[in-house]
Every structure is written in C-alpha cells, then in structure tokens.
Structure 1
Amino acid sequence: MLIHEAARQAGLSKKAVRLYLSAGLLQPQVDARNGYHQFTGEDVQRLQQIRWLRQLGFSVQEIRAMLEDPSAAQYYILKRMTALREEKRRLDWRMTQLEQILEQDCLSPNSTALTPGPEPWHAPLPLDETDAYLIVSCFLGSLVQNVELNEYRRFLWQRLLKVVVTHQTPELAGLRDYIYSLTPEHAGQLFALCRRVVSEIAALPPRKMEEFCSRVLDDLGRNLNSSAGRLKRRYECFLRPSIRLFDAEACDILREFTPLFSEYQDRLQAYCDAMLHRLQQPENAALCARLTAAFGPEFSPEQIGSGQLTALYSLSLESGEVN
C-alpha cells in the first residue's frame, strides 16, 4: 500500500509518516520503478506503535532507541513514569493554590493576601517503587532478569522494592536523578557496565582470583592516572549511594528470589577478601594513598568495606565513555 493508505490505517497524517521515515523509525520497501514507499501490514503496526508511544510523551529519539533495542524500553518507560510523577506533583500544587484562592477569596479588595504554599520542586521527588525497580534492575539486572516469576517470587519482588523505597535519602534520590540525567547511549553503557561487574564476579573461579585482583588494581591505577576527577564523580553520584542500599534485609530477599544471588555473594566475598589482602601489602601503599586522596578515608585499608571494594572493580572498567 502507498503512504496515504498506511497513514489512514495507522491514524496518522502523511506528514507524520514522512517524519518517522526520515527519522529512521521504519524502513518500508521502495518501488524501484517510481521511488514510492510500499507499506506492509507490519509497517502499519509499527506506525501504530509509534503513534501510541508519541501519545505517551516519548520523543522520536527515545522511540527509535526503544525500537532498535527493545531491552532498553524498560529504562525509558520508568524514566517517563518518573517525569509524569513530577509533573503531577506540580499540577497538584497548582490546583491546591487555586482552590485556596477560591476558598479565601484572597484576590478581592478587602481580603487578606494568601500566603503561597511551599513549591514542591524545591524538594526531591520522593522515591517510589518505580524508582526502586530502576535501581535494582540497574545494579543487579543480570541476576534478576530472566527469572521465572511464580506467585512467591512476585511477592518477594514487591517486598524488595518496598525495602528499597524505605531508603528515602537525598543521596538515593540523587542516584535516581543521576541515572535519568544520562543520555540514552550513556544509560545503556552504564547498565551494561553494571551487568558486567555482577556477571564477572558471579562467574569468577577461585583459581583465577589472584590474577583477577591483580588486573583490577593495574587497570584502576591507569584510570586514576588519566581520569581521577571523572571516577570520583561516578563514585559519588552513582556507586556510593548504592553501597548502603542493599542491606541485610534486601540481601535476604534476593537470596530467596534467586539462587544466583547466593552464588554471587559467595564469589563477591572471596573477591573482597583477596582484594583487601592485596591492598594491605606494602607494594600497594602508594595506590592506597591515591585512592584515599581521590575518594576519601573510606578507601583506606583500615576502613574499606565490601561496597568500596566492589566499586573499585567497577571503576577499573571505566572507559571514559559515560559522563
């Protein structure tokens, strides 16, 4: 079918269809005889998807990213839901102010002026289960994805999200906002980096532990030479808030949710023990001093914990691509 018929069936204008064609959102075949696009039923379905996503407020760029990589759709949906929550909070504030004006008749000549209520955008948007879903999926995606959700696991998942939501701290709200501030490309790189950290530690055989820790420290030293400021920002905005997030209760739930988490924790403990042992060796004193100077005393051999030791591996993998 030609463009006018495809547009009609999809409920779009020809102008909109041409826009989506130029943006690369679909690629119907072209008739070599006349240069006209020939649309199929699948193309019409794609156009209907695009129309639907546009109605939900997604940009053309976001739609292209979701269509090219359906696994990224979760990130964009959660980001859009949070934006709508913020928009609703502002609209609710405006409605409240307008209702007070009506009730108190404060704009009439003989009335007392109304004192505006506190503006909601001066305080961080409270965390909810949407944010918790994003954060857990970001840090533990390779462990919790593709797990078959029976009724009990759904119960555990909701419990886990509620545990995360209880951490109503500015630091955790900043973590959420940092993730959402990234470009789609950088967000994808960040999620991939987190998946790599978890999956590689979970699969780490004991016989490779010393070699692995040595490589981490070598890579970390090189990254500190070239990008200490960027690594510090990544730690403060992204890694540090997560360290306090997965507390004992959250870990207990995750162990019940999937046996993979128990395996990951066992390997993680072995990795942390080996890393701590290496950092306490005299030959690494200079590196420890640099870590303490860059990230604070929590990275000294006397104070460093499992969260910081895991962060070291993540920072050793940084390539400079994610700002």
Structure 2
Amino acid sequence: MLAGCTAGNQKPIQIDPVDAASESELMDFYKGLHQVGVRLLAENAGEGGRANLQRFNALYFTGNEQQALKYLRMSLFADPFNSDSKAVAAQLESTDLFGLLSDQVGRDVGRRITYGVQESLPDVSARIYGNEHYAVLLQRYNAQVNADYLKTRQLFAPDLKQLPVLDYYYQPSTPARPVATPAVRATATATASASPTTPIAESQPDVVPDASSDQEVAPLIEEPVEPQPPTPQELYQQGHSVAAYRLLRNQAAAKRDQPLYERLRESLVEAPYREGVSYFHAQEVREAIEKFERVLSIEPEHQRARQYMDRATRLDARLSDID
C-alpha cells in the first residue's frame, strides 16, 4: 500500500525481480556456512576433549597456567560431558578445594606418598587414584599444607572418597561379595565306602546344634578386597594414554607390553617432537615451543627436545626484542 504512494509527480520506483539462485550457487553458499562452522568449532574445540586435556596437563605443570586454561576450556567445549574435564575444572574453581584448605582440616585426611624424581604430579595421581586428572588437587593441597613437597619429594594425598563433591567423578572400587562358610552338621551315619569288615552302625537322626552346643553355624563373612591399581592396558582403553605410557615407561622392558609402549611413545613423544622441529625450522617459534613443552612434560629426559626447546626459547626472545 505504501509502495504505491508518490510525492508530487515522482513515479514509483521499479524493482527488478530477483533471479532464482542456481543450485550450484546455493551449494557454494552452504559450503561457505559450513566452513565458518568448521573454523568456529576448530577455534573453540581444538583437537577434542581428551587431547586438549592432555595439553592442559602438559602446560599447567610446567608453569604455563594461562595457556593451559585455554585448552581446558576447549576440552569442555568439545565434550561438555567429559567427567575428567569437569573434575579438573572443579578442582580449579573450588576456593577452599572442597573444604581441604579450611582451617579445620589438617593432614589426617590422606596419606603420605613419596614420589620419584622423574614422576610428575599427573604420574602420582595416576598411581594413587588410577586417574591422572587429580594432579591439580594434589598441587593445591600440598602447596598449603606441605610447601616443601618439591624438595622433599613427599606428598600428602587426600582420600577422594571423603570429598562428597567429587563423588560424581571418582568411582570407588566395587565392594567384595559376601562369602558364605558352610555350616557344620554332626552326623553318625556311616559312609557307604566303609570297610566290609567294619560293622555298619544304625542310622542316627541329624543333630541340630543349639545355643549350648560347641558347634555353631558360621555366619556370612565379608572378605575385604584391596583395590588393584589399573594396568597400562586398562588405562589406555579408558582413554588415559599419557598415564598408560608413564606406567609402561617405569616398567622393566622384559615385563612391559612393548608394542603398546612403542605405539604410545610414537604418538605422544616422537611425533610431537618431529612436529616441533618442523615448526622451528619454519621459524614458527611459538608453535615449536608448545610442541617441545608437551614432549618434555611426558618425557622429561628427552635430550633432543630439551636442546631444541632452549634454542627456540632464545630465538623467541630475540624476535620479541625486534618486534
């Protein structure tokens, strides 16, 4: 109605009809939207939940907390239902660490653990709890109640089962089933296998023990079973590749699963190392440093990665001065 109105002698504006888009143009349009979505997902989700969580561990415990938090957020974005990612986030966000850092709590909530020079906090977490993603809790707790833990190599490890907030994430071992001990029944009935020369006594009724009898029916006995630490194969099947590799690395070569060890070393150590070298020679120094940090967090004795890390750090400092 308003389109037909004119002011004075002006003629109505003629609008050309819109040409119908061809099928190929529509496909190009949808492909463009798809690429935008893929890029947005890649920027926010990275390599996926588990991979980003491994990068978080590689950075957080080498002094790069802010960069590590970026990968933790990407892990939660990629897999919001990943219980490990949510447990790590809870350990970081809890002000009093689920009550462990309050004044009323002492050192009697856990046990003292001695860990080796080559063991990292994720290693210790995997050894104690069967999961490497409680290392943040170990770090924050000991930083307050045991400040010299890095020098003494001794940690206080809280019992996660005493923390109701973590019940959703930490699954205790399955309780043992009750084992029944058969009741002893006294009988004077002779067995059929008795000697032919032995006279067979007359059959007597079964004796039912009463309260005054020396023989009593044994009650059901629940035998406690000590929970066994997970094997490297179990950790690998659960998606904890780094923890599985660290356990395999500490085993004797004759006893460990060598094919699994070599496969994990290639994917977790050697492949990132080669990528870091490529980045370094391409003068993409920041990316190279990130790769070498990841390698050294898993394999601290990797000498070539250590050498390249030092060179990349010095080169990055010089480039920063130029900028």
Q: Which TM-score band applies after superposition, normalised by the shorter structure?
A: under 0.3
TM-score, structure 1 as length reference? 0.22
Which one has more relative contact order, counting CA pairs under 8 Å at least 6 apart? 1
Richer in helix (by share):
1
Larger Rg: 2
